[in-house]
Copies of this chain bind each other. A is one copy, B any other.
């Protein structure tokens, strides 16, 4: 599938940050950034710019706030097009080095940050010319759509590209969603609006349904998909999105992300046949930086996440069950976990 309009977004640090309170080392973030640039990824999301009034800077790491000086430390000397120099990325083989430097000159990986509609403020966004950021992605529940539109308009007015990402869409009420989409079309200048399957509950037929609905209302905006892997459908649903016309596609390295994780970026760019992509820097950074994280962070398919996925529930109950200090026996009693969740449902 080679469609030039497609934009691939790496959200490893942002979505993965939900599993470690955004406490990645500067070295990890810099290596991820370097590698996705070298791989030709269109956009890289380096974290949240959420409010320090709402998140403790003692409890959360730097990528929950993405201060400009921290972002500058990450990009400094790396982004080749930004500085007009050739690519300084080194990978193991001569052949790879050659290919990459040829490629990167003609492309630029844009930098994105995310603002949660209900946890961020407009004032934290500088005018574009004072920032290394290119894209502001506003994450929202349908109910917070007015806050999201305010933040998105703040971003576009200050010179950024902006997107609105509608979270937990598998439990959105249809009438409210329809109204939100009409507002987005009328009141914003965002480039794309995302279907976010936070619960990993959607099947491909649901992706089709939502894309058709988004396209119906959003005549001048692209549709994006951000899929989770609770039912091992993160990649498959992203493909379903591509086939149905989504052009903004989120993925993360080795699927690192909340709970069962995301659509793996390495699979996504293998599927997309665009010759501008190079999988090799991604393989290298997964080996060196992402795989070692699995000793501290546990993500990927497991039965508790599968259960929240099939029940269309937020994964937080499964994340709590699987926490490091939780009861080891309870972690493995899948039937009990399932019956607790379904009995709750009966009581509703």
Q: List chain A positions with a Cβ less than 8 A from chain B.
A: 91-93, 95-96, 203-204, 229, 231-237, 239-240, 254-255, 264, 266-267, 270-271, 279-280, 283-284, 286-287, 291, 300-301, 303, 306-307, 310, 332-336, 338-339
Our pick among B96, B271, B284, B303 for the contact of A254 (Cβ within 8 Å) is B303
Pairwise interchain contact B204-A236, C-beta atoms closer than 8 A: yes
Pairwise interchain contact A334-B232, C-beta atoms closer than 8 A: no
Known: A232-B264, A235-B233, A267-B231. A303 touches B280 (CB 8 A): no
Q: How many Å from the CB of A347 to the closest CB on chain B?
A: 14
Pairwise interchain contact B239-A92, C-beta atoms closer than 8 A: no
Q: Contacts of A236 on B, CB cut-off 8 Å? A: 204, 232-233, 235-237, 239
Q: How many Å from the CB of A318 to the closest CB on chain B?
A: 13
Greatest chain B CB density within 10 A among A95, A236, A264, A300 is at A236
Q: Contacts of A339 on B, CB cut-off 8 Å? A: 92-93, 95-96, 280
Q: Contacts of A332 on B, CB cut-off 8 Å? A: 287, 291
4 new A-B pairs (CB below 8 Å) besides A232-B234, A232-B236, A266-B306?
A232-B267, A266-B303, A267-B306, A280-B335
Q: How many Å from the CB of A259 to the closest CB on chain B?
A: 15
Q: How many Å from the CB of A202 to the closest CB on chain B?
A: 12
Pairwise interchain contact A279-B232, C-beta atoms closer than 8 A: no
Pairwise interchain contact B283-A335, C-beta atoms closer than 8 A: yes
Q: Contacts of A307 on B, CB cut-off 8 Å? A: 283
Our pick among B234, B283, B334 for the contact of A303 (Cβ within 8 Å) is B283
| 8 intermolecular pairs with C-beta atoms under 8 Å apart | A92-B335, A204-B204, A254-B303, A266-B303, A266-B306, A280-B335, A280-B338, A300-B301
Q: Contacts of A310 on B, CB cut-off 8 Å? A: 267, 270
CA distance A236 to B235 in the complex (A): 9
Q: How many Å from the CB of A90 to the closest CB on chain B?
A: 12
Known: A231-B235, A232-B236, A338-B279. A286 touches B303 (CB 8 A): yes
Q: How many Å from the CB of A323 to the closest CB on chain B?
A: 18
CA distance A236 to B239 in the complex (A): 10
Closest chain B residue, CB of each to CB of A266: B306
Q: Contacts of A235 on B, CB cut-off 8 Å? A: 231-233, 236
Q: Contacts of A233 on B, CB cut-off 8 Å? A: 235-236
Q: How many Å from the CB of A149 to the closest CB on chain B?
A: 34
Q: Give me the 5 closest cross-chain CB pairs, A-B, nearest first.
A: A236-B236, A283-B334, A270-B310, A283-B335, A284-B335
Q: Contacts of A204 on B, CB cut-off 8 Å? A: 204, 236, 239-240
CA distance A2 to B236 in the complex (A): 21
Q: Contacts of A267 on B, CB cut-off 8 Å? A: 231-232, 306, 310
CA distance A307 to B286 in the complex (A): 13
Pairwise interchain contact B284-A334, C-beta atoms closer than 8 A: yes
